[in-house]
Amino acid sequence: MIAFLSRLSFTEKALAAAFIASAALLAGAHLFENFGGLVPCILCLDQREAHWTALGVAAAGLIVARVFNAKRGAAAAVGATALVYAVSSGLAFYHTGVEYGFWPGPAICSGGGNIIDINDLAAALGQAADAPSCEDVQWRFFGISMAGYNLLASAGLFAVTLLAAISETRQVREKRNGATASAKKSAIR
């Protein structure tokens, strides 16, 4: 495994790290939900969507980089992954602020988001919501909630993927400029 990782470029390592980290975060969230009994709020589910998106983009980027050896495609994929982590960081920052009471959460955050049949509307209005409020923190470790840890992870992954995107784009540009300079020298002779 170490030999395989040493052959990867910085961009491929960043994409692999993004894939593994998002997969681990999603697995952890689902374990807390299914085995820990924690019910996710609407903002928690939104944060999961960002990681599902990052997982897919990172996988596509790895395929483009390894199978097709397309440096521009890898640069685009790692840049797109950085954008996804920027959104994920923003969502986690917003959710953390809601948890600490810095600002109000969205109106839908007060309860369940089930689709209700119009015929059962009166009965549904009398039932309790099945999703917790986004303000309710169900779990903390060292005083940091799951949204807080997601903020830290997403911000770190944003930094790594952004650096990889900048590095890969710079390498592609230098290679292109080098090829253009060689072609101009050949044309002059």
152 and 89 Cβ atoms separated by less than 8 Å: no
CA distance 102 to 122: 34
Level-2 CATH architecture, domain 9-188: Up-down Bundle (1.20)
Domain boundaries, the chain: 9-188
pTM recorded for the entire structure: 0.77
106 and 134 Cβ atoms separated by less than 8 Å: yes
CA distance 108 to 124: 16
In the block, residue with structure tokens 């072609």: 183
Instruction: Identify the H or E element spanning 151.
Output: helix 146-188
DSSP-assigned states of every residue in 36-50: T-PPP-HHHHHHHHH
CA distance 148 to 102: 14
pLDDT tens string, the chain, 189 residues long: the values are: 666 667 788 888 999 999 999 999 999 988 988 888 888 888 888 899 999 999 999 999 999 988 888 778 888 999 999 999 999 999 999 989 888 888 887 877 765 445 556 666 666 555 555 667 776 777 778 877 888 899 999 999 999 999 998 988 888 778 777 766 565 666 665
